Amino acid sequence: MLATSDALQPEDIRLDFAPGALRPPRTAAAALESFLAEGTTLEEHERQLIREALKRANGNKSQAARLLGLTRKRLALTG
């Protein structure tokens, strides 16, 4: 946390620095490695991403949605 006072403010919390935060692949090779495994449907892949985001967010649905770039409502519709 980057708090500058005794009271924690929303701007003090940076999810992009969170340990294990989801990040896009940095190279073409990394992108290929993260591509769908053969025989995996897009729907299955989405479910896997949601499960991983929930795991990294310790079950916090709002934080998992932010990691995925979704609203909490959209995450609920997707999951």
pLDDT digits (tens, 9 = 90+) for 21-42: 556 556 766 666 667 778 888 8
28 neighbors 42 (Cβ within 8 angstroms): no
> Which position has the higher pLDDT, 40 or 1?
40
Q: What is the pLDDT of residue 40?
A: 84
On whether the CB atoms of residues 50 and 75 are closer than 8 A, the answer is yes
Q: Which residues have C-beta within 8 Å of that of residue 36, sequence separation ≥ 6?
A: 42, 45
pLDDT band at 1 (very low <50, low <70, confident <90, very high): very low
Question: Which two three-digit tokens encode residue 20?
Answer: 């294990």
- What was the pLDDT predicted at 63? 92
Task: Write out pLDDT tens, residues 50-60.
Answer: 999 999 999 99
CA angle centred on 38, ends 36 and 52, rounded to 5°: 40
CA pair distance 30, 32, nearest whole angstrom: 5
